[in-house]
Structure 1
Amino acid sequence: MLFRTQLGLFALGLVIVSTFATTHAAAAELRSSGMISTAGARRAGLERAWASAVRMDGGRDRLVGSTLHITSDPQRERRIIEVHYNNRKEIYTDTDVDRYGEVLGKDGVQKKTIARVNDLKAQNIDAKTVEYNVPEMMFFVASRRGFIHAMDAHTGATRWSARIGNPDHPTHGPAANDKYVAVINGNVLYVLKHDDGELAWQKKLSYVPSA
Structure 2
Amino acid sequence: MSSHAHTHDGPKPYHEYPVDPQFKRASPGKIGMWLFLATDGMSFAGYLIAYAVLRWSRAWPNPSVALGGVELSGFMTFLLICSSVSMVLAIDACKQRYRKGMLGWLAFTIFGGIAFLSIQMYEYHHLNHAMGMSFNSYAHGDALFSSTFFAITGFHGLHVLSGVIYLIVMLVHAYRGDFDNGDYNQLEIAGLFWHFVDLVWILVFTFVYLL
Shorter-chain TM-score category? Answer: under 0.3
Higher helix share: 2
- The structure, 1 or 2, with the larger RCO (C-alpha pairs under 8 Å, 6+ apart) is 2
Per the normalisation by structure 2, the TM-score is: 0.21
Per the normalisation by structure 1, the TM-score is: 0.21
Higher strand share: 1
Q: Which has the larger radius of gyration?
A: 2
